[in-house]
Amino acid sequence: MKLWWFANVFWLVMFALGAIFIGLREVDGAGISQTPEIKAITFIMVGILFVIIMFIQIVWLFFVKKLRY
């Protein structure tokens, strides 16, 4: 169960740092200027990834609790 909590904290920190990085950068790695529309699309993509990982964590929690009891 401790591993589950550690994984959740890890993902939360990673997503927070990623969101801050996306919000603050002016130019991406390819040299393209970041407009508000491009940033919005990037935030949506990060949000979709967050939902997928959250679903995996919920399934993992279900199996951890099932094995514990």
Tens place of pLDDT per residue across the chain (69 aa): 788 889 899 999 999 999 999 999 988 888 889 899 999 999 999 999 999 999 999 998 888 888 776
Containing domain of residue 63, as a range? Answer: 2-68
Residue pointed to by tokens 């094995």? 67
Helix (H, G, I), strand (E, B) or coil at 59: helix
**34 and 27 Cβ atoms separated by less than 8 Å:** yes
pLDDT score, position 48: 95
Classify 33 in phi/psi space as left (phi over 0), alpha (psi -120 to 50) or beta.
beta
- Report pTM: 0.76
How many folded domains does the chain comprise?
1
Backbone torsion region of residue 31, taken as left when φ is above 0, otherwise alpha when ψ lies between -120 and 50, otherwise beta: left
> Can you give the pLDDT at residue 64?
83
